[in-house]
A and B are shown apart, each in its own frame.
Chain A
Amino acid sequence: MIHVEGLSKSFDDLRRGSIVALDSVSFDVQAGEIFGLLGPNGAGKTTCLRMLSTVLQPTGGTAIVAGYNVATHPQDVRGQIGFMSCNTGIYDRMTAWEMVEYFGRLYGIEEQELQERLDRIFTTLQMQDIRDMLGSKMSTGMKQKVSIARTIIHDPPVLIFDEPTTGLDVLVARAVLKTIEALREEGKCIIFSTHIMREVEKLCDRVAVIYKGKILAIGSIPELEEQYHESDMEELFFSLIQQHEDQLAMKAQ
């Protein structure tokens, strides 16, 4: 469903000059699978996912999402994905229902079908009691629910979650993860980024460790553990990063 090959992105930065945020990244994600992007802040996860969601333009490489190239057919890609991140806020002066309905209409869903689907989603996500609440009055957890509803309203085959649990309390975070798990059962292709090891261990079928714009390792958790002879995911992660830093230091010399 998602095919990424040699994807790169560089920015101009006032302080550091031209910086490479993502350096030739390649991976594939299948339907019915949760693919984790694991990396510290600033590793390039958000940049990568923003390119997959066509908000940013790649400066190199290709990315095919649900059969469409993000660079040449951004419109079609956007119709096939649901994207949620800590940056995709909800409108303050709209109720939960209006908000999800609005995006449903933007996706061009038939009115009758839209109402049915809205009702179903609001029931499954237990949001019926906040239907008519304005965005500004909601708690963080409620907002996150509305965001999820917004992400899945058009029943997209591909879902992209960029650190969806950031800033949530344990209960809400757990509910979000449960929802994502349920979406996998529906056969969705899910890509999920986080810096929290436990979420990866619990949720992901396969994972890519990303650091300073590069993928350091990729594979299912047992594969990685076997490959690097390390049973603890956290230890594995740190040793990979340490290894990369050593290499960089070597090169610098």
Chain B
Amino acid sequence: MIQWKNIKLILMRELRDQMRDRRTLFMVAVLPLLLYPAMGIGMVQMTVLFSEQPRTVVLLGADELPKQPQLLDGDQFVSNWFTIPSDADKLRVITDSQPENTDSESTDTETNSEREEILKQAHQLELELKQHQSLLDEWDKLKGKEDSSEAELLLHEITETKERLSKQFAESKIQVLIIIPKGLSKELEQVSAKLALHEPIDFDPAVSSRPLILRNRADEKSKLAFIRVQEAMDAWEKAILRARLNRARLPVSLPTPINPEVIDLAQDDQLAANLWSKLFPALLIIMAATGAFYPAIDLGAGEKERGTMETLLISPAKRTEIVLGKFLTVLVFSVSTALLNLASMGFTGKHMVNVAGTGALSRMGDLSFPSFSALFWIVVLLIPLAALFSALCLSLATFARSSKEGQYYLTPLLMVTIGLTVFCLSPAVEINPFYSLMPVVGVALLLKGMLLSTVNAGILYVYAIPVLITSIGYSLLALWWAIDQFQREDVLFREAERFEVGLWLKHLMRTKDSLPSFAEAGFCFVIIMLLQFAVMNTMRDAIQMATTAERPTRMMQLLMIQQLAIIATPALMMGIMLTTSMRKTFRLYLPRFSFWIVATILAFALHPLSQELVSSLRWFFPALPKGTVAVLQDMSDPNQSIWLILLAFALAPAVCEELAFRGFILSGFGRRGRAWLAIILSSLTFGAMHMIPQQVFNATLVGLALGMIAVHSRSLFPGIAFHFIYNALSIYRGRVPEKWVPEHGLQYFVSMGPEGLRYSWPLLLICAVLAIALLRWVTLQSRTAPGEQTESLTLSAFDRRLTDSTN
């Protein structure tokens, strides 16, 4: 029995200990309280001091501009052309027209000489541009003879001039260069006059004389300047058009015949909610992780480092009590760090908006706080989230030998958390049933949704239940891991030994056993996943390269190669290198005959059940990727040879996947003697290998049955038979012709739906009864089996712990 008195004692001690630690206090309390106000002050200062450098725009041919409406005003654009008139100050316009007021010339000789220089650069650019354009014109004339050597030469010249042009432009002090063609104003006037008289316009003015604008999109300054130039020119152009229409006594709205009206219903609090919904979940998650980080290191690795771990271990407190006490301490700090940060940021933000008044910040809307119910949900969701981080941090920190090592282990955790948070920040990502089951992501998206929509939050509360349940589940798992870490002497008493790869490999080879270790099984899975990830692109390219006719064949070939190279080979190689008995590791024993029969019938019984289960959960999963749909279609394509399909989709996976997952990985996970844990872990890895959510779900369930068969029959072969039949049934189901109508009593068991063959309730019921009975039979077998000396995976070994076993 766990004594709460001890947990409370440990919790209170650790809390007091942490409160006396200046570093922790600083991180948890002082930093958030000071950081945000300091950042706020900094931001206000920055906005006050910040002023944008004016950018240089050169306009050649200013004399050709129409006098009315005016584009330029001195060395600026006319401020009316900007939505924010002060933007005109941010562009300095240099023209080639003679400055009218010569009185300032004497005072600004320096500016004048700079002006001259810039103008010179502009003229050079103009020349270069003209040459480039004449070359382009020539190219257009060459139409039809693109292959001649002449064309090649021209093309070469064109690229050369373009390069030269871009280099010159980059070296010049000009951000945007505008070249007004000769006779622009005259032509504008001409068109307007003709339009006013309703005379036909017999040329296209847009072709004859277009101004040219030179910019460099890759250069940030040029890009900004161009956006402003474009804004001014657009407004100016519209003004010219308006004047022209006026003169012709046509309605001004003529160029916009539809012109819909947009009504924005956003209210201030919604704008505020928008901001909070982005900031709060992200901050909450990152701070909950950070808040757990430092206390966990101090309580785990720090305790080892300071030599007080053993003192605590010899006290009568149980390991579980110690871990719970420490876990609760970390949890308290994680929660309070997150909440303090939120509160500090919220108040600072609100205060800053009040201070800044009409500045740029006021456009975010009034930063009123989220509603009370949203705040309540923040706290409710924060606790399981913080619990997950606390337990994870604590187990990693316990595993570490020193504080420094602890930081190495915990930094990746923090990085992953930040990655997930950034993913959730994207406006396109919304909570759905699938995301609601993912750790961290579920909480982040639910909070985002709740803070965002004050109106239709109703649907979101439906998600609150799965998010809460899974979050609590994940944190319990992490806590269980932390307790497990604390029970292991090799973790608690790890000496700082020098690590050398060579030495370690030698150790692996020397200490190898008939079965792989837990870590080796996990590593095998990681290798399979990495290999799969590595060849993913290559596979896709190879499939896309093939012609449509040979694509299915190519795909099946690749699939078989993938099964052999990526799944079977790593497992077999690791088996050869790391174990002494291939036979034991891969369970290459002949099973009793009854197992063959049971595995076969079980495959027939489980296939309809899992098929219907996945179909009924269709709403839950994201849609299948296009590639997978294509594969499924090929599989059911009646023109393909059934033998090839069976080979690629049934036999190869049956052999290869069984070797890896029921062979090496299951043996490794089962080494510690907990059969159920091994079966569950191997089926989880088996599921994860399938990548696509539907298949992950399906494979995990089937993996449980396969694991049970493998463990209790002590053989790999019934599993291979099961796997083959199961996959073959899926193939045959897909090949049932669409127009087939079940009859002769079959209609009670199956029906044809739009997605193919469906199994009806009577059949499912029979299958369920059969499956349960058979699985029950399987689990009972090892108890009646003759006392064979297997050193792992016997049920009696289940749940055996070394320490605290009697408590």
| A binding-site residues for B, Cβ under 8 Å | 11-15, 17-18, 50, 53-57, 72-75, 78-79, 81, 83, 85, 87-94, 102-103, 105-108, 150
Q: Once bound together, how far apart are the Cα atoms of A57 and B489, in whole Å?
A: 8
Which residue of the partner chain A has the closest CB to B19? A93
The answer to whether B308 touches A90 (Cβ under 8 A) is: yes
The answer to whether B315 touches A75 (Cβ under 8 A) is: no
Q: Once bound together, how far apart are the Cα atoms of A57 and B493, in whole Å?
A: 12
A151 to chain B, nearest CB (A): 9
The answer to whether B314 touches A83 (Cβ under 8 A) is: yes
The answer to whether A54 touches B497 (Cβ under 8 A) is: no
Quick check: which of B162-170, B623-631, B786-794, B799-807 contacts chain A, the rest being far away? B799-807
Which residue of the partner chain A has the closest CB to B488? A57
What chain A residues lie within 8 Å of B5 (beta carbons)? Answer: 108
The answer to whether B507 touches A14 (Cβ under 8 A) is: yes
B residues 492-512 near A (Cβ < 8 Å) are 492-493, 497, 499, 503-504, 507, 510-511
What chain A residues lie within 8 Å of B17 (beta carbons)? Answer: 91, 93-94
In-complex Cβ contact of A106 among B9, B503, B507, B802 (8 A): B9
Question: Can you give 29 contacting A-B residue pairs, CB < 8 Å?
Answer: A11-B490, A14-B499, A14-B504, A15-B497, A18-B511, A50-B310, A54-B314, A55-B313, A55-B314, A55-B489, A56-B489, A57-B802, A57-B803, A72-B806, A74-B803, A78-B314, A78-B316, A85-B310, A87-B310, A88-B310, A88-B314, A89-B311, A93-B20, A93-B21, A94-B16, A94-B17, A106-B6, A106-B317, A107-B316
Counting CB contacts under 8 A, is B13 at the interface? yes
Identify 7 new A-B residue pairs, CB closer than 8 A, beyond the known A17-B511, A89-B310. A72-B805, A73-B806, A75-B316, A75-B806, A88-B311, A91-B308, A108-B316
B504 to chain A, nearest CB (A): 6
Q: Once bound together, how far apart are the Cα atoms of A103 and B317, in whole Å?
A: 10
Q: Once bound together, how far apart are the Cα atoms of A85 and B804, in whole Å?
A: 22
Which residue of the partner chain A has the closest CB to B21? A93
What chain B residues lie within 8 Å of A92 (beta carbons)? Answer: 306
What chain B residues lie within 8 Å of A81 (beta carbons)? Answer: 314
The answer to whether A106 touches B315 (Cβ under 8 A) is: yes
What chain A residues lie within 8 Å of B306 (beta carbons)? Answer: 89, 91-92
Counting CB contacts under 8 A, is B458 at the interface? no
The answer to whether B314 touches A56 (Cβ under 8 A) is: no
In-complex Cβ contact of B493 among A56, A89, A91, A103 (8 A): A56
What chain A residues lie within 8 Å of B21 (beta carbons)? Answer: 93
What chain A residues lie within 8 Å of B307 (beta carbons)? Answer: 87-89
Size range of the chain B interface in the assembly: 35 or more
The answer to whether A14 touches B311 (Cβ under 8 A) is: no
Which residue of the partner chain A has the closest CB to B13? A102
A44 to chain B, nearest CB (A): 14
What chain A residues lie within 8 Å of B13 (beta carbons)? Answer: 94, 102
The answer to whether B311 touches A150 (Cβ under 8 A) is: yes
Q: Once bound together, how far apart are the Cα atoms of A107 and B6, in whole Å?
A: 9
The answer to whether B806 touches A102 (Cβ under 8 A) is: no
B137 to chain A, nearest CB (A): 76
What chain B residues lie within 8 Å of A103 (beta carbons)? Answer: 311, 315
B residues 1-22 near A (Cβ < 8 Å) are 5-6, 9-10, 13, 16-17, 20-21
Counting CB contacts under 8 A, is B55 at the interface? no
Counting CB contacts under 8 A, is B326 at the interface? no
Q: Once bound together, how far apart are the Cα atoms of A225 and B772, in whole Å?
A: 73
What chain B residues lie within 8 Å of A78 (beta carbons)? Answer: 314-316
A112 to chain B, nearest CB (A): 16
In-complex Cβ contact of A90 among B311, B489, B507 (8 A): B311
Counting CB contacts under 8 A, is B318 at the interface? yes
B residues 410-425 near A (Cβ < 8 Å) are none
As a 0/1 sequence over residues 29 to 52 of chain B, the CB contacts with chain A under 8 angstroms (1 = contact) are 000000000000000000000000
B222 to chain A, nearest CB (A): 59
Q: Once bound together, how far apart are the Cα atoms of A132 and B73, in whole Å?
A: 80
B610 to chain A, nearest CB (A): 42
What chain B residues lie within 8 Å of A94 (beta carbons)? Answer: 13, 16-17
The 9 A-B residue pairs with the shortest CB-CB distance in the complex, in nearest-first order? A89-B307, A93-B20, A88-B311, A83-B314, A106-B315, A89-B308, A78-B316, A87-B310, A79-B316
What chain A residues lie within 8 Å of B805 (beta carbons)? Answer: 72
The answer to whether A17 touches B507 (Cβ under 8 A) is: yes
The answer to whether B317 touches A55 (Cβ under 8 A) is: no
What chain A residues lie within 8 Å of B807 (beta carbons)? Answer: 75
The answer to whether B316 touches A15 (Cβ under 8 A) is: no
What chain B residues lie within 8 Å of A11 (beta carbons)? Answer: 490
What chain B residues lie within 8 Å of A79 (beta carbons)? Answer: 316
The answer to whether A105 touches B9 (Cβ under 8 A) is: yes
B803 to chain A, nearest CB (A): 6
Q: Once bound together, how far apart are the Cα atoms of A107 and B316, in whole Å?
A: 6
The answer to whether A75 touches B504 (Cβ under 8 A) is: no
What chain B residues lie within 8 Å of A106 (beta carbons)? Answer: 6, 9-10, 315-317
The answer to whether B6 touches A12 (Cβ under 8 A) is: no
What chain A residues lie within 8 Å of B310 (beta carbons)? Answer: 50, 55, 85, 87-89
A142 to chain B, nearest CB (A): 16
Q: Once bound together, how far apart are the Cα atoms of A83 and B314, in whole Å?
A: 7
Q: Once bound together, how far apart are the Cα atoms of A102 and B316, in whole Å?
A: 12
Q: Once bound together, how far apart are the Cα atoms of A79 and B314, in whole Å?
A: 9
A14-B507, A106-B9 given as contacts; is B489 within 8 A of A75 (CB)? Answer: no
Q: Once bound together, how far apart are the Cα atoms of A73 and B806, in whole Å?
A: 7
What chain A residues lie within 8 Å of B6 (beta carbons)? Answer: 106
The answer to whether A12 touches B314 (Cβ under 8 A) is: no
B residues 392-443 near A (Cβ < 8 Å) are none
B496 to chain A, nearest CB (A): 12
What chain A residues lie within 8 Å of B315 (beta carbons)? Answer: 78, 103, 106-107
What chain B residues lie within 8 Å of A55 (beta carbons)? Answer: 310, 313-314, 489, 492
A70 to chain B, nearest CB (A): 10
B586 to chain A, nearest CB (A): 24
The answer to whether A12 touches B316 (Cβ under 8 A) is: no
Q: Once bound together, how far apart are the Cα atoms of A102 and B315, in whole Å?
A: 10
What chain A residues lie within 8 Å of B492 (beta carbons)? Answer: 55
Q: Once bound together, how far apart are the Cα atoms of A184 and B507, in whole Å?
A: 46
What chain B residues lie within 8 Å of A72 (beta carbons)? Answer: 805-806
What chain A residues lie within 8 Å of B802 (beta carbons)? Answer: 57
In-complex Cβ contact of A17 among B9, B316, B510, B804 (8 A): B510
Q: Once bound together, how far apart are the Cα atoms of A100 and B510, in whole Å?
A: 46
The answer to whether A53 touches B314 (Cβ under 8 A) is: yes
What chain B residues lie within 8 Å of A12 (beta carbons)? Answer: 490, 507, 511
A218 to chain B, nearest CB (A): 25
Q: Once bound together, how far apart are the Cα atoms of A224 and B497, in whole Å?
A: 38
What chain A residues lie within 8 Å of B313 (beta carbons)? Answer: 55
Which residue of the partner chain B has the closest CB to A69? B806
Q: Once bound together, how far apart are the Cα atoms of A81 and B315, in whole Å?
A: 9
Which residue of the partner chain B has the closest CB to A15? B503
Q: Once bound together, how far apart are the Cα atoms of A93 and B15, in whole Å?
A: 11
What chain A residues lie within 8 Å of B316 (beta carbons)? Answer: 75, 78-79, 106-108
Q: Once bound together, how far apart are the Cα atoms of A13 and B511, in whole Å?
A: 10
Q: Once bound together, how far apart are the Cα atoms of A3 and B311, in whole Å?
A: 23
What chain B residues lie within 8 Å of A91 (beta carbons)? Answer: 17, 306, 308
Q: Once bound together, how far apart are the Cα atoms of A192 and B266, in whole Å?
A: 79
What chain B residues lie within 8 Å of A74 (beta carbons)? Answer: 803-804
Q: Once bound together, how far apart are the Cα atoms of A107 and B3, in whole Å?
A: 12
B16 to chain A, nearest CB (A): 8
Q: Once bound together, how far apart are the Cα atoms of A85 and B307, in whole Å?
A: 10
Q: Once bound together, how far apart are the Cα atoms of A37 and B670, in whole Å?
A: 40
Interface-central residue, B13, B307, B490, B805, by most chain A CB under 10 Å: B13
In-complex Cβ contact of A102 among B9, B511, B803 (8 A): B9
Q: Once bound together, how far apart are the Cα atoms of A48 and B807, in whole Å?
A: 24
Q: Once bound together, how far apart are the Cα atoms of A70 and B499, in whole Å?
A: 33
Interface-central residue, B10, B316, B318, B507, by most chain A CB under 10 Å: B316
Q: Once bound together, how far apart are the Cα atoms of A57 and B487, in whole Å?
A: 10
Q: Once bound together, how far apart are the Cα atoms of A74 and B510, in whole Å?
A: 33
Which residue of the partner chain B has the closest CB to A82? B314
What chain B residues lie within 8 Å of A54 (beta carbons)? Answer: 314, 803
A188 to chain B, nearest CB (A): 16
Q: Once bound together, how far apart are the Cα atoms of A55 and B489, in whole Å?
A: 8
